Structures are given as structure tokens and as C-alpha cells.
Amino acid sequence: MLQSGGFCVLYTNRKHRQAAPKPKPMTSEEFNNEFLHLKDAAFRYAVALLHNYAAAEDATQDLYEKLWRRRLLIRKNGFQALVMTSMRNLCLDRLRHKPFTPLENITTHPTAPPESDRDMADLVQRLINDLPDREREVIHLRDIEEFEYDQIATITGTSEAAARMACSRARNRVKEQLVKIINHGL
Amino acid sequence: MDYKELSQRYLDATESLADKKQLSEILDNTNSLTFEQRALQAMQRYNRRQTHVGTTINTHTSTTLRWQLAAAAAACCAIIIGVAIHLSRPTVYCYYNGRPITSLAEAEGHAQRVINELCVAELTTDEDMLYNMFRME
């Protein structure tokens, strides 16, 4: 009786699996379209992780070369998350082997309260770059790339609650620092 | 939703993308900003500015490969057609009055007719034939 019940469950599971529509693999044309749509986001994410434009460009190129070779195995669904997760892994791997020299414009420290929009933007960038890695990553994915928190959790390998927590902490930290600088200067 | 609620949601990371856009619009349309509002506005402007940063990397589809594939496909087709023509060509069993005979039955019929037409009287024995062959004039 138990065995037949078990068989029934297995049978219905298999039936259910067969009924689910299987996403098609990506063609070259689809890959090109998705690539054009995502390449800047992937590049910006690489810059945020590596702190170096040239290295970020290399990483983007290498990632897409790898993905291009496997384009017939890649499914169209979830391509965005796949690209960002792969980019993250690639960048972390590179950072482990060779730390890059930081960007030039984040080494400038303003001594007076910022006046122009450009000064403010540079200041925000510096403050974001001073954040811990996880917080910087999350704030970048949410505020610049506008990913949903569940997608961020998938990309960074954490839970949605942890992603929200990191983002909140990062925003509060940047805001407090900014208020302090606007009010008093450094 | 007012500024206070939107900014609180933003700082607690419980906002939606629509809330973020609305907060950004409110901050841009407010004339006299507090320090906190200026800070949030700077963050929003920085985010907007960053979305314009991009890479020059582009996709390039090689046309050479397409031509190579087309040439290889054409060569394969030519070989297949050649082999098919060669295999479908009929077997010539014999020639009768200069005409090729491709039917086995017809060839056999012609051969039989030629044998029947031979004059039996003209045939000699083996000894006569050998004698005629090696006869010294």
C-alpha cells in the first residue's frame, strides 16, 4: 500500500515535470540583443567591484566571451541574473589573485563643503566606495541598476532580508556622512 | 505619499522602484531643501548620473564564418548530388547496332538471337579448327 502510494507520488511528479514548459536555449541573435541590453549594467557592476575601469572592461569582455561559447546552453529566462552573478564571481576571483589600483577620482578628498552637483556626485561616489564590500554591492545593484531585492539576493548569494538590511545600512551611512559634510565640511 | 514617508521607506530599504522615482521627483521640485534632503537629492542625482556610464565593448558578428559555412554547405550538396546521379545511372549490358542496352532481358534477347543466327554448318570440329589455326602454308 505504501509502495503504491510512493509510486503514485513519483508518477504525478514526473507528469507534472513533463507538463512544465521548457524554456528554449538562446540563439546568437537573442544573445546579441540581451548582451546590448545588459553590457553597461555588467560593466558598472564590475567597476563597483574592481574599482578599476580597465580591469572592469577586461572582465566584461572575458565574461561575454565565456557566455558566447555557451550561448546554445543558456536559457533566455534568467539571463540577467546569470550575467550579474557570473560577473560577481569573475570579479571576486580576480580580486583574490590581484588587487587593482583604485580609481583616480575616488582618492580626492574635499576639504570644504561641496558646492556644485559634480562635487556632490564625487563626494557620494567616495562615500559609497568607502562602504564595506557587501553594502556597496547591494546599494549599487538597487540604486543604480534598479534590481528587485529578491534578484539582488540571488546575485549576491544572500537572503532578501539580508540584502534589504545591507542596503538600508549603506544608505543611512552615506546619508549621515553627507549631512555631516554639507553642514560642516570635512 | 509625502516626502517623510517616502524617505523613511527609502532609508529602511522597503521602497518600491515607483517610490524611489517619486522621492526623486519631490526632491527635484522642492526649492529650499534641508541638509538631509540635500543629501538624499545628491544620492539620487549620483544614481541617475551613474546609469549613463557604459562600456565601449560591442558584439561583432563575423561574416567570414557565414560565407565559409555557406561554401561548405554548397560543396556538400554538390557531392551528394554527384553521388546520387552516379548511382542512378543505368548499367549498360551491351551495345547493339551502336545503341547501349540497359535492360538485362533485352540484352539476353539480343545475345540469344545472335547465337541462333549462327550457321551450324559452318561450325567445324575442334580438330579442324586447330588444324586451320596451325596450318603451315
Say if residues A100 and A59 touch (Cβ distance below 8 Å): no
Q: Is the pLDDT assigned to residue B4 strictly greater than 80?
A: yes
Domain ranges for chain B: 3-50, 94-134
Q: A100 touching B, CB under 8 A?
A: no
- Compare all CA atoms of chain A with the CA of B50 and give the residue at the minimum distance: A144
Distance from CA of B11 to the nearest CA of A (A): 5
- What is the model's pLDDT at position A183? 80
Q: Is the pLDDT assigned to residue A104 strictly greater than 70?
A: no
Q: A39 touching B, CB under 8 A?
A: yes
Higher pLDDT residue, B86 or B133? B86
- What is the model's pLDDT at position A107? 42
- Tell me what percent of the residues of chain A surpass a pLDDT of 90: 17
pTM: 0.62
Q: Which amino acid is at A125?
A: Q
d(CA A47, CA A128): 12
Domains and CATH numbers, chain A: 23-97 (1.10.1740.10), 104-184 (1.10.10.10)
pLDDT tens digits, one per residue of B62-78: 666 778 888 999 999 99
- What is the model's pLDDT at position B32? 81
Q: Report the pLDDT averaged over residues A61-83.
A: 81
Closest CA to A40 of A91, A94, A80, A90: A80
Give how far Cα A172 sits from Cα of A127, A178, B44, B53, Å. 11, 10, 13, 25
Assembly ipTM: 0.71
Chain A residues in contact with B20 (beta carbon < 8 A): 143, 146
- Tell me what percent of the residues of chain B surpass a pLDDT of 90: 15
Q: Is the pLDDT assigned to residue A2 strictly greater than 50?
A: no
